[in-house]
A = this chain, B = another copy of it.
Amino acid sequence: MSKRVFNFSAGPAGLPYDVLKEAQEEFLDYNNIGASIVEISHRSKDFMAIIEGAQSKIKSLLNLGENYHVLFLQGVASSQFYMVPMNFVGKDNSVDYIDTGAWTKKAIKEAKLFTNVNVVASSSDKNYNYIPKNISLNSNSKYTYLCSNNTIFGTQYKEFPKVDNYLVGDFSSDVLSMKRDLSDFGIIFAGAQKNLGPAGVAIVIIRNDILKDLNENIPSMLSYKTHIDKSSMFNTPPVFPIYIINKVLDWIEKSGGVEAVEKNNIQKANLIYNQIDNNDIYTGVAEKDDRSNMNITFNLTTPELESKFIEEALKEDLYAIKGHRSVGGIRASVYNAMPIEGCQKLSDFMSRFAKNN
C-alpha cells in the first residue's frame, strides 16, 4: 500500500484514488493491446472510444443537449483567454468582463488585443473577497465574461447575471462540482488540473448557435471551427489527460452524478467553514455569501501562527494548504476528489489547533 496524504493542492490537484489505481494497473498494457495507452495511435478504435465516451459523458453530466460541441484543447485554460476574442470578436465589437481576480485580469488583458473591453464590475477594491452583484451590462456587447470560481481568493458565483447576449465562463476550478443552469452560456471552458484530470488539456464547450459569424484567417490550430469540424482530432490530442478525465467522469457517474457530488462538496466545505466561524483564531477571506465550496481561504491572527499551522498540518499528512502569495494565510482546496475524511481531519486539526494556540 503506497503512502497517501490528504492533498489540498490548488492545482494540479488530487484525483480520485480509484481512478489512479486503475490507470496504474493497466498502464503497461491497455485493453490487452500489448502497449500502453500512451503508446497507441490517437486514431485507434481504443482511443476513439475514450474521447467520444468522455465527450458524451460531459454533455450528459452537465445536462447539455445536442446543440453543444465538447472539445479537448491543448494550451490549458489560459489559451481560451485569447482564443475566445480571436474567434468571436473584432475591433468594431465590444465585450463585457466581470473582474473577480487574477484570472479574469489575465483574460481582460488578452481580450484587449482584439476588441473593446468594458470592465463592467470589479471586486478589486476589497482584494477580490466578493463577487460583484447587480451589475449593469452593455446591451450592445457581444458577450459577457466571468470566472465562476476564483481559486486564489476563494469566491464563487452562486447565481449568474442575466444577460441579453451570451455568457462566456471560465469554470476551471468548479466544473462538475455543483448543479448549474448553464443555458445562458455560449462558451464554457475549464482547465483539467483541478476538477477533471492531469494538467495538459482544457475542455471547451461551445453552443452551436453562436458559431454563425466566426472570424476567418486565423491559424488553423486556434480556430474553434477547425476543432469542431475534426471533433478534437485535427492534431494529436493529449491522450493521457483525456484518458484520465474519462475515468474521472465514470467516477462522478458512479458517485451519483453532479447532484450527489454537490451535496458531498457542501458537506465537506461546511466542516471547514464551521471551524472558521466558531474559532476567533481564524478569519475567512471571502465574504460569507460568496464563499467557494472548492477553495477555502482563511487567515490566522499572525503570519507566525500561520506558518506553525501549515507545519503542524503537514505532520498530520494535510498537504499543500499554504495560501496563494497574493492573499497569504491558508487555502484548503477541496475539489471533487477530496474525500470527506480529508475535510474531517482538517476540521479536527483546526479545532485542536485553536484550543492549543
In the complex, A91 has a CB within 8 A of chain B: no
Known pairs A12-B41, A75-B75; A201 contacts B199 (CB<8 A):
no
Q: A5 to chain B: which residues have CB within 8 Å?
A: 33-35
Main secondary structure of the interface of A (DSSP, over half): loop
Q: What is the 8 Å Cβ interface bit string for chain A, positions 171-206, against chain B (1 contact, 0 not)? A: 000000000000000000001010001111100000
Contact A29 B2 (CB under 8 A): yes
> A30 vs B114: C-alpha distance in the bound complex, in angstroms?
42
Contact B4 A28 (CB under 8 A): yes
Contact B28 A81 (CB under 8 A): no
User: Which of B11, B39, B74, B198 meets A75, CB within 8 Å?
Assistant: B74
Give chain B nearest CB distance to A114 CB in angstroms: 9
Instruction: Please choose the segment from A123-131, A139-147, A214-222, A293-301 that sits at the chain B interface, where 4 or more of its residues have CB less than 8 A away.
Output: A214-222
Give chain B nearest CB distance to A115 CB in angstroms: 13
Q: Closest B residue to A47 by CB, please name it.
A: B12
Known pairs A193-B236, A200-B201; A39 contacts B15 (CB<8 A):
yes
Known pairs A39-B14, A39-B15; A235 contacts B34 (CB<8 A):
no
Known pairs A39-B7, A113-B217; A34 contacts B241 (CB<8 A):
no
In the complex, A290 has a CB within 8 A of chain B: no
In the complex, given contacts A7-B34, A10-B41, what are 18 additional A-B residue pairs having Cβ atoms less than 8 angstroms apart?
A3-B29, A4-B35, A5-B33, A14-B39, A20-B28, A20-B39, A23-B27, A24-B28, A40-B320, A75-B75, A79-B221, A82-B220, A113-B219, A193-B236, A193-B239, A198-B239, A199-B240, A201-B238
Give chain B nearest CB distance to A344 CB in angstroms: 18
Contact B200 A78 (CB under 8 A): no
Q: Closest B residue to A218 by CB, please name it.
A: B113
Q: Closest B residue to A217 by CB, please name it.
A: B113
Interface residues, chain A, CB within 8 Å of chain B?
Answer: 2-5, 7, 9-15, 17, 20-21, 23-24, 27-29, 32-36, 38-42, 74-76, 78-79, 81-82, 86, 106, 109-110, 113, 191, 193, 197-201, 217-222, 234-241, 244, 317, 319-320
Q: A240 to chain B: which residues have CB within 8 Å?
A: 198-200, 240-241
Contact B198 A82 (CB under 8 A): no
Q: A244 to chain B: which residues have CB within 8 Å?
A: 38
Q: A21 to chain B: which residues have CB within 8 Å?
A: 28
Contact B79 A12 (CB under 8 A): no
Contact B28 A40 (CB under 8 A): no
